[in-house]
Amino acid sequence: MTETLANPMAARDHARSMGGTVVEAMPLLPPVATDVPDGVSADDIVWEETIAAGGYATRRLARGSRLRLIDVKGDACAGLQVFNAEMPTERLNVADTVKVQWNAYLAAGKLLLSDMGRVLMSIEADDAEMHDCFSGTSNAATNLAKYGEGRNSGAYPNGRDRFLLGAAKHGLGRRDVHPCVNLFKGTKIELDGAITPDVGPFAPGRSVVLRAEMDVIVVIANCPHVLDPRSKYSVTPLRATAWRGATTTEADPIRNATPEGLRAFLNVEDYYRR
């Protein structure tokens, strides 16, 4: 193989021979999914990708789009960062997401709020009911101490560096990488303030559907939870599917569920009234 790749023409022929190869973790182009909800046209699917264990992915999604994440084998950890696509200085604020909703645990009907009081995404459906707003993600130092080489080039990539790669694809840098929520891995806040992780593994196939309430950039890092007590680098693939959808109406039950949430939706509607 080394001799083949040392010859430019042979290397070209080898690369071309790999065309059409399908592996477990990769984006499908054009995106195709046969298990989307009834009423979703194949033409509306904008993203279909399986994110490898230790991998990352990113996408810009239009307002009204749905993003479905599936924990394919029961041990994925979807670290999620969200930005306002047209003004990325506005981004997910995990502290406000918790305190404004008077709720520490994400589930169907809950909102992902920005640092400007607007709803970036809402949780339209959730059969996992196991998520984390408190722990953030791993970094090179934590992974080095726990697993070994933890940088992007190493065998045990960390969440923060994966977020940096995803953010860079949109012209964003280190200062833009903000605290994340972790989907599919849970934590419990004890009476003394201690954080108890609940990281599985769980039954395969759990899913979450997010609705984009603004034009957003999502960056996903699929790395082991930073509080995972297992000594082995344990994480499995994560599937992402997105499709175009209708924007939220004034009668929407998630929009009107609480006074605080309604205010955040009104802030979004005012933003798009320009």
Please list the pLDDT of the chain residue by residue as tens digits (274 residues): 556 667 888 888 888 888 877 778 888 889 999 999 999 999 999 999 999 999 999 999 999 999 999 999 999 999 999 999 999 999 999 999 999 999 999 999 999 999 999 999 999 999 999 999 999 999 999 999 999 988 888 899 999 999 999 999 999 999 999 999 999 999 999 999 999 999 999 999 999 999 999 999 999 999 999 999 999 999 999 999 999 999 999 999 999 999 999 999 999 999 999 7
- Please give the pLDDT value at position 175: 95
Place of tokens 């009907």: 109
- Please give the pLDDT value at position 9: 86
Return d(Cα 145, Cα 122) in angstroms, integer. 36
- Please give the pLDDT value at position 1: 58
What phi and psi values does residue 14 have, to the nearest 5 degrees? -65, -45
Cα 240-75-24 angle, rounded to 5 deg: 50
- Copy the structure tokens of residue 45: 């699917």
Q: Please tell me whether the peptide bond between 30 and the residue prior to it is cis, using omega within 30 degrees of 0.
A: yes
- Please give the pLDDT value at position 2: 59
Return d(Cα 228, Cα 244) in angstroms, integer. 35
Return d(Cα 81, Cα 167) in angstroms, integer. 9
**C-beta separation of 160 from 242 below 8 A:** no
The amino acid that residue 181 corresponds to is: V
pTM, full prediction: 0.94
